[in-house]
Amino acid sequence: MHAKQASGCMTRRKFLESGSACALFMAAGPALAQAPAQPAPRAKGPRVWLDLDQKELDDAYDQSVYAPNLPQITGRYATNSEITRGRLGPPRRLAYGPAPVDGLDVFTTRRPNAPVNVFIHGGAWRGGLAKNYAFPAELFVNAGAHFVVLDFSPVQDFGGNLMMMAEQVRRAVARVYRNAKSFGGDPNQIYVSGHSSGAHLGGVVLVTDWEKDFNLPANTVKGGLLCSGMYDLKPVRLSARSSYVKFTDEMEHALSTQRHLERLSCPVIVAHGTLETPEFQRQTRDFAAAVKAAGKPVQLLVAQGYNHFEIFETLASPYGLLGRAVLEQMKLVPA
């Protein structure tokens, strides 16, 4: 009797277990059947630049591919800039040309005859406004320096002519030099910083022939901080950016800072994040190596775990990678 009961229990248990397994299989079956198939690996195309095919090269000069949080970070730029203006007050607006966009936002410090840092914003040469890049101003103002943010035209307003855009930025820096005393600045302590396409333009500024082109001292700029920039335009010309920049041989050569290091007359700091595109990392490394080989002072900074947009935020903190470096370059002490 007990054996039959045990046998019955085992039979029922096996039945229930098999039924449960079947139910689980039936429930999972449709979900498994509907799971999307993994896409087949993309076939690599012909090499266009180094080991990169056309898509890889295009992606390497498109920050959104490597920085999916781009909208959140650039949103912080704008929000934190508004907060900064609330604390420091609105900047002085100085014109450097006849067009409404030809303007400078100047955040002044109380220190007399203070050094000046001129910042050139990024935006793939296509966009960006000075008002959204004000948030590092407190670092400089509190440490005893003026912070100047440039506005300038996007390259499409020049019909894709990057030479005209670079000339506009160079004019703006010359204006800062000539008018520094009007806002308490020392024209003999002008520094330039830039991020992304602004770092490219900043590099062009650093190798400007100031005596020939602007009748200014050859060492008009005393130091540069170039973050996540481009310093040779050959691979950029081969990328999708050529759809809106009308590259020519003359433009590629003239605006490739790495090819004109004989005109570099000041120390330069270059930086990139480890989560940037492979090309932006390579451009920075190669530029630093070229400056060093030319016998000029250069410092290479690598931000571990930062992408293209996150690294720029470190300029706003005296303890951040860029903030600490720029204060040391300008011989300033954090407030």
pLDDT at residue 13, rounded to an integer: 43
Give the separation between CA 11 and CA 24, rounded to whole angstroms: 20
More confident residue, 16 or 91: 91
pLDDT at residue 26, rounded to an integer: 39
Q: For 137-177, write each residue's pLDDT tens digit.
A: 999 999 999 999 999 999 999 999 999 999 999 999 999 99
Q: For 261-276, write each residue's pLDDT tens digit.
A: 999 999 999 999 999 9
Q: CA nearest 62: which of 226, 194, 242, 203?
A: 242
Instruction: Kindly give, in sequence order, each residue whose CB lies less than 8 Å from that of residue 140, ignoring residues fewer than 6 positions away.
Output: 107, 109, 117, 146, 147, 332
Give the separation between CA 147 and CA 90, rounded to whole angstroms: 12
Q: For 227-250, write each residue's pLDDT tens digit.
A: 999 999 999 999 999 999 999 999
**pTM recorded for the entire structure:** 0.88
The SS3 call for residue 103 is strand
Give the separation between CA 123 and CA 128, rounded to whole angstroms: 5
Buried b / exposed e along 55-86 (16+ C-beta atoms within 10 A) = ebbbbbbebeebbeebeeebebbeebbeebbe
Q: For 278-335, write each residue's pLDDT tens digit.
A: 999 999 999 999 999 999 999 999 999 999 999 999 999 999 999 999 999 999 999 8
Q: For 62-113, write each residue's pLDDT tens digit.
A: 999 999 999 999 999 999 999 999 999 999 999 999 999 999 999 999 999 9
